[in-house]
């Protein structure tokens, strides 16, 4: 699959001060750079090396990723919401490509 497709699960609404759980998944081969093809040549490394989640512009959670993360990297983490707003998710590939998605949440 050429383009990585992000999938994110955020609750639609929450009450102020709640700690919510966010689940993210993106389809990506995460080629580790350790494998070899049939001719014995090393397949070059190509992974997503960074993931970041921001809420209304402020960083909530981020991670630096090494090749030991499985294909189709999955991350589950929490966020504390005080006001309604938009979560923005950004994945950065080794080749500089950036995959993005957004989710809004209503807070009462």
Partner 1 sequence: MKLTRRDALTYSAGAIAMALVGLRGVSAHAGTEETGTAVSGFTGGVEPQSGMITLKAPEIAENGNTVPVSISVDSPMTADDYVESVAIFAEGNPNPEVVVFNFTPLSGEAAATTRMRLAKTQNVVAVAKTSTGKVFMDKREVKVTIGGCGG
Tell me which residues touch partner 1 (CB under 8 A). 19-20, 32, 34-36, 55, 58-71, 73-80
Q: Which is nearer to partner 1, 1 or 58 (CB)?
A: 58
d(CA 28, CA 20): 26
Q: Please state, in angstroms and rounded to a whole number, the distance separating the CA atoms of residues 99 and 50.
A: 11
Q: How far is the CB of 32 from partner 1 (least distance, A)?
A: 7
In the complex with partner 1, which residue's Cβ is closer, 45 or 101? 45
The least distance separating partner 1 from the CB of residue 47, rounded to whole angstroms, comes to 11
Distances (CA, A) of 71 to 61, 74, 80: 20, 9, 28
């Amino acid at each position: 699959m050429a383009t990585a497709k992000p999938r994110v699960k955020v609750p639609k609404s929450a009450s102020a001060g709640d700690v919510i759980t966010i689940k993210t998944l993106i389809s990506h081969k995460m080629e580790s750079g350790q494998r070899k093809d049939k001719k014995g040549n090393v397949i070059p490394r190509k992974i997503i090396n960074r993931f970041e989640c921001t809420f209304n512009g402020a960083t909530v959670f981020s991670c630096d990723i090494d090749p030991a993360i499985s294909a189709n990297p999955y991350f589950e983490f929490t966020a504390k919401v005080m006001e309604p707003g938009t979560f923005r998710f950004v994945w950065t590939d080794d080749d500089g490509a950036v995959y993005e998605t957004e989710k809004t949440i209503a807070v009462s």
